[in-house]
């Protein structure tokens, strides 16, 4: 009886929230396009346009984001009541770029979009940036009347074919993944469909996705490319591909991003989606993932399954890289003395109140001792050999052989650790060997060794699945 009553109560709450949604919003999606520019010292937002898309695929009950994730925060405010009626935390290419050396000597501009349910009345759209102490500060505010001539309501012309891979439920109560292909020609449509199926099958072999599969819808978008593959500037390879994915983002060989945001958003608007995963037609190891933007994965790499779940951890749940021995282009991605916002790394400024303290067993020492010196030696040796081979133009087989050799050394090393599989605070995380800590000895966000995320990462992912599906 108690159970029945609570079910009735939760249904009533749900329908009240849904009718609240219908009062405020039309059920379609509005997109705010803007340019984000600056250098290491200053940044500016310049609006581009408002664009009407199709049906709103996101939650109708969890409109205000309470996860406190992201370097930036987007808010939609009702000017009559000053109430936030929609918000989402996010990170961006700009937010990463401003920490590179290049930002110290030049300005750049990146195109960005925020999508939100189309309001019935005029609203204020606001962008805020997180300061080092974790608080948010406004960097842009503008008003939009959705019924005005300043909203582009022209038809979305499909840029390609949308394929349904998995239909779990209504877009309103599901995580809607959209796998977007780049570097697949019209003739390679069949290869794209097969690559997507293979990657989706392996994705749902990993937890927590396996247990939560019924909360997902998966669709794929094939936008025919003039040429096969994507650009690889360090090898002098240039490709005309419609969504602009390329290796060597921020001059980092394996980092694959695109700056063609507007082309992506116009193409993706053909399907309902909460999260975009780029699948690019290439054999070379590479990928990338930025929170609430998208992730990228090389379809033909022998590591494709790992790349998908690792990069998706970044883009879907705001997970940080837990590794620190690989070369990256960032300088002081996390300045010392401040707590990072990402859920899976900590500066351990207050060990008694570490953000995952409820997962730490009472007897666990913090920081937690582990054999970092031996691991670092093996890992830095590998990085040096990897860089040397890459600079000689070595092929994927050579790189994979090297990786497997190192794995045969580091995997037993990590698995033999006294506290392996337990939650603590292990020094070395987020590109820093000292001063930043991860929660377990090993995790998919740390190495390619394990077949699961650590408990802290798993919980962070489940929280975001709940945000879209409940
Ligand atoms: Zn982790």
Using the mean position of ligand 1's atoms as its centre, give its distance from the Cα of residue 128 in Å: 27
Using the mean position of ligand 1's atoms as its centre, give its distance from the Cα of residue 27 in Å: 36
Q: What percent of the chain has pLDDT over 70?
A: 96
Quick check: 91 and 318 in contact, CB under 8 A? yes
What is the model's pLDDT at position 1? 44
Burial of 138 (0-12, 13-18, 19+ CB in 10 A): exposed
Using the mean position of ligand 1's atoms as its centre, give its distance from the Cα of residue 237 in Å: 35
Using the mean position of ligand 1's atoms as its centre, give its distance from the Cα of residue 3 in Å: 35
pLDDT at 17 over 80: no
In the structure, ligand 1 is a single-atom ion and the residues with CB under 5 Å from it are 344, 443, 445, 454, 457
pLDDT in tens, 198-257: 999 999 999 999 999 999 999 999 999 999 999 999 999 999 999 999 999 999 999 999
In sequence order, the 6+-apart residues with CB closer than 8 A to the CB of 102 are: 108, 250, 251
For the record, the structure tokens of 42 come out as 């200053």
Using the mean position of ligand 1's atoms as its centre, give its distance from the Cα of residue 97 in Å: 24
Residue 20 dihedral angles phi and psi, to the nearest 5°: -60, -40
Superfamily (CATH) of domain 23-152: Peptidase M64, N-terminal domain (2.60.40.3250)
Distance between CA 343 and CA 70 in Å, rounded?
10
| Structural class in CATH, domain 161-317 | alpha beta
Asked, colleague to colleague, whether 23-152 and 161-317 share their fold, the answer is: no
Using the mean position of ligand 1's atoms as its centre, give its distance from the Cα of residue 106 in Å: 35
Distance between CA 287 and CA 2 in Å, rounded?
49
- Look at the block and give the residue holding tokens 């606001």: 126
Query: Which of 448, 74, 57 lies closest to 291 in space, CA to CA?
Result: 74
Using the mean position of ligand 1's atoms as its centre, give its distance from the Cα of residue 194 in Å: 30
Concatenating the DSSP letter of every residue in 314-381 gives HHHH-PPP---SS--SBSSSS-TTS--SSTTEE--SSGGG-TTGGGS-TT--SSPP--HHHHHHHHHH
Q: What is the mean pLDDT of residues 96-114?
A: 96
Using the mean position of ligand 1's atoms as its centre, give its distance from the Cα of residue 386 in Å: 24
What is the model's pLDDT at position 333? 78
What is the model's pLDDT at position 459? 98
Predicted model pTM: 0.94
- Look at the block and give the residue holding tokens 């883009």: 315
Query: Which of 74, 66, 64 lies closest to 24 in space, CA to CA?
Result: 64
Q: pLDDT-derived band of residue 4, with 50, 70 and 90 as boundaries?
A: very low
Distance between CA 39 and CA 172 in Å, rounded?
39
Using the mean position of ligand 1's atoms as its centre, give its distance from the Cα of residue 29 in Å: 33
Distance between CA 144 and CA 421 in Å, rounded?
50
Lowest mean pLDDT among 196-205, 272-281, 303-312, 373-382: 373-382
For the record, the structure tokens of 176 come out as 């809607």
Average pLDDT in the chain: 94
Quick check: 303 and 101 in contact, CB under 8 A? no
Lowest mean pLDDT among 13-17, 21-25, 155-159, 300-304: 13-17
Sequence ranges of the domains in the chain:
23-152, 161-317, 345-450
* Helix, strand, coil percent values for the chain (each to nearest 5): 30, 30, 40
Distance between CA 151 and CA 414 in Å, rounded?
55
What is the model's pLDDT at position 7? 45
Q: What percent of the chain has pLDDT over 90?
A: 86
Residue 458 dihedral angles phi and psi, to the nearest 5°: -60, -45
For the record, the structure tokens of 43 come out as 């940044």
pLDDT at 13 over 70: no
For the record, the structure tokens of 97 come out as 């770029």
Round to the nearest angstrom and report the end-to-end CA distance of the chain: 23
Burial of 353 (0-12, 13-18, 19+ CB in 10 A): exposed
Q: Calculate the alpha carbon distances from 414 to 68, 263, 326, 379, 404 in Å.
A: 32, 43, 17, 12, 15
How many CA within 13 A on the CB side of residue 255? 16
């Amino acid at each position: 009886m108690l159970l029945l009553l609570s079910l009735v109560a939760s249904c009533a709450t749900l329908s009240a929230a849904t009718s609240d949604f219908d009062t405020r919003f039309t059920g379609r999606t509005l997109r705010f396009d803007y340019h984000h520019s600056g250098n290491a010292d200053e940044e500016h937002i310049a609006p581009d346009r408002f664009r009407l898309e199709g049906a709103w695929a996101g939650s109708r009950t969890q409109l205000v984001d309470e996860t406190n994730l992201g370097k930036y925060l987007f808010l939609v405010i009702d000017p009559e009541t000053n109430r936030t009626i929609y918000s989402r935390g996010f990170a961006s290419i700009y937010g990463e770029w401003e920490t590179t050396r290049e930002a110290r000597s030049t300005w750049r501009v990146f195109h960005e979009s925020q999508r939100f349910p189309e309001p019935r009345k005029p609203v204020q759209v606001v962008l805020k940036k997180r300061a080092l102490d974790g608080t948010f500060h406004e960097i842009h505010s503008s008003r939009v009347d959705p019924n005005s001539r300043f909203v582009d309501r022209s038809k979305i012309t499909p840029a390609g074919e949308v394929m349904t891979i998995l239909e779990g439920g209504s877009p309103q109560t599901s995580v809607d993944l959209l796998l977007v292909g780049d570097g697949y020609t019209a003739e390679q449509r069949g290869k794209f469909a097969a690559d997507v199926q293979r990657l989706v099958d392996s994705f749902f072999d990993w937890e927590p996705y396996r247990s939560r599969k019924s909360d997902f819808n998966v669709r794929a978008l094939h936008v025919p490319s003039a040429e096969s593959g994507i650009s690889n500037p360090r090898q002098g390879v240039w490709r005309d591909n419609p969504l602009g994915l390329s290796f060597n983002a921020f001059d980092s060989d394996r980092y694959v991003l695109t700056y063609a945001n507007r082309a992506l958003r116009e193409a993706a608007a053909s399907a309902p989606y909460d999260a975009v995963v780029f699948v690019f037609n290439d054999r070379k190891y590479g990928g990338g993932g930025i929170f609430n933007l998208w992730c990228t994965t090389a379809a033909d790499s022998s590591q494709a399954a790992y790349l998908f779940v690792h990069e998706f951890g970044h883009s879907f749940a705001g997970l940080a890289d837990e590794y620190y021995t690989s070369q990256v282009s960032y300088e002081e991605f996390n300045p010392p003395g401040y707590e990072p916002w990402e859920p899976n790394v900590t500066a351990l400024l207050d060990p008694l109140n570490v953000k995952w303290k409820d997962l730490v067993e009472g007897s666990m020492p913090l920081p937690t001792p582990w054999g970092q010196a031996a691991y670092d030696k093996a890992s830095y040796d590998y990085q040096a050999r990897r860089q040397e081979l890459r600079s000689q133009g070595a092929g994927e087989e050579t790189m994979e052989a090297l990786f497997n050799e190192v794995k045969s050394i580091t995997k037993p090393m990590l698995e033999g650790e006294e506290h392996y599989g337990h939650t603590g605070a292990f020094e070395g995380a987020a590109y820093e060997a000292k001063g930043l800590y991860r929660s377990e000895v090993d995790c998919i966000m740390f190495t390619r060794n394990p077949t699961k995320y650590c408990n802290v990462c798993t919980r962070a992912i489940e929280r975001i699945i709940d945000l879209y599906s409940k």
